[in-house]
Structure 1
Amino acid sequence: YVIGATVIESEDRSPVSVRSAMELLSALYSIHKGFAEARVLEMRAHCRPALPDHLPTIRQQEWGYQINGLYRHGYLLGPVMVDQLLTKLSEHTDSGVRYAS
């Protein structure tokens, strides 16, 4: 199983803290007592991209488009954001936008 993540707003890139690990593992144990004997194979910590308003955004740059601010929801929101970008691009097909083939 993969569990996580914590919601600590920080630029700290140090290893997982005991507090964070305990919070996640306690939540896991409360879901099912069988996890009491589970083995922890790996724990990772890293910063996740977020914008000040905590909303994902699509920005047009000179060189292309930038999808950012997905925070810890990137795996879930990634496909939706790509669909939104494709919709945006398809609306501008008559305005001289060319696609690589």
Structure 2
Amino acid sequence: MASTVDTEKPLVPNAARKRISAILKGGRVGYSRHAREEMEKDDLTEVDVTNVLRGGRIIEPAELGPVDWTYRVHTSLQCVVVAFRSETELVIVTAWRKKR
């Protein structure tokens, strides 16, 4: 799936959080094969991932991946990495349960 997002510059964390919230309300969330594999390893569900996206924080700057900027959304227990495909679509790149 080709991205229609401007890859020249990343969103600031607050703008990325707002876009995630808007997509959760009325857009589309997809999952990479890698994300599904990692979620299974850590016994994470789509509900877990959605909860992280709803309540988590973006504390690091965006990272430029092979195609798009990626954003790490953290809670105290989990991390979910997302990339925007458009204004209304994001993909879960990976997710994991943090070690204690």
Question: TM-score, normalising length from structure 1?
Answer: 0.22
Which has more radius of gyration?
1
